Amino acid sequence: MSYDSVREIDPAAADALEGERDRQENTLAMIASENHVSEAVLEAQRSELTNKYAEGYPGERYYAGCEHADEIEELAIERARQLWGADHVNVQPHSGTQANMGVYLAMLEPGDRILSLELEHGGHLSHGHPANFTGQTYEVEQYEVDPETGYLDYEGLREQAEAFDPDIIVSGYSAYPREVEFDRIQAAADAVDAYHLADIAHITGLVAAGVHQSPVGVADFVTGSTHKTIRAGRGGIIMCDEEYADDIDASVFPGA
């Protein structure tokens, strides 16, 4: 990709952009969440859509001239439904963290209880870390992996859930390198009448390819990002059963 137009206006910015391009092209990255998008993705992301406000949802916008934005969003929704088999999909979050926020805002009240994996054991900041808005807004207790095996202790998680009585259990992790048995976590959530949020940001591609158990149709809510193992543009996604569709959509817009 050429940055000639940028260089004419801002040589320093062009130097940085070209430096990053060269770094990526000449480095073997071992960070799984940093994928290498195609030229088609880069081309789409530099389109004139960047000029367009499109608040609201397809067919219900607050700005005129959104017909093509509607087409793009409807394509993304339908393709996500086909790829993961979800009933309802919201593709408006800008990131996986914002997708998680959309679920929390839709289903929880301040002070409600979250049970999630400890960050040092493979969890994520947006699952209840004290430095994150989740840890400051909700009451959080965290489970851990078995110190001997490094695997999730599903029976221990269930016992912890029964003792803590959370409003939502969060599964799906940022640094847990083993397959997650989402059905067993759902059973723990069912036992205490809690929601189950499965954050698959780091394994969306593995789930789509059928090489990892899918939480879609198992967990109440499934969130993820589109730019890691899916190799698409940067963004977030929420999938859920149709019964939660209105709450989720209102939480993302105008809520978030």
Q: Residue 145's beta-bridge partner residues? A: 152
| Helix 154-164 vs helix 182-191: crossing angle, to nearest 10 | 20
Instruction: Note the pTM of the prediction, 2 decimals.
Output: 0.93
Domain positions in the chain: 1-30, 85-255
Alpha carbons 194 and 222: distance in angstroms, whole number? 15
- Of 164, 173, 218, 224, give the one whose Cα is nearest residue 196: 218
- Of 38, 20, 27, give the one whose Cα is nearest residue 232: 38
Q: What integer pLDDT is reported at residue 56 of this predicted model?
A: 96
Q: What integer pLDDT is reported at residue 1 of this predicted model?
A: 78
Eight-state DSSP code of residue 238 = E
Fold of 85-255: Aspartate Aminotransferase; domain 2 (3.40.640)
CB 108 within 8 A of CB 207: no
Alpha carbons 77 and 92: distance in angstroms, whole number? 10
Alpha carbons 161 and 166: distance in angstroms, whole number? 6
Which runs of E-coded beta strand occur in the chain? 56-57, 60-61, 88-90, 113-117, 139-143, 168-171, 195-199, 221-225, 236-240
Q: Tell the residue number behind the tokens 């017909």, with chain if given.
A: 67
Alpha carbons 189 and 168: distance in angstroms, whole number? 7
Q: What integer pLDDT is reported at residue 40 of this predicted model?
A: 95
Pairing mode, if any, of strands 236-240 and 88-90?
antiparallel
Alpha carbons 188 and 253: distance in angstroms, whole number? 31
Q: What integer pLDDT is reported at residue 126 of this predicted model?
A: 87
Q: What integer pLDDT is reported at residue 29 of this predicted model?
A: 87
Coil, helix or strand at residue 54: coil
10-residue stretch averages of pLDDT, the chain, 256 residues long: 93 97 93 89 93 96 97 98 97 96 97 92 84 93 92 96 98 90 97 98 94 96 94 95 97 90
> Could you report how far apart the first and last alpha carbons of the chain are, in Å?
34
Alpha carbons 80 and 71: distance in angstroms, whole number? 14
Alpha carbons 103 and 93: distance in angstroms, whole number? 11
Distances (CA, A) of 103 to 86, 89, 106, 143, 250: 16, 12, 5, 20, 10
Q: What integer pLDDT is reported at residue 35 of this predicted model?
A: 87
Coil, helix or strand at residue 164: helix
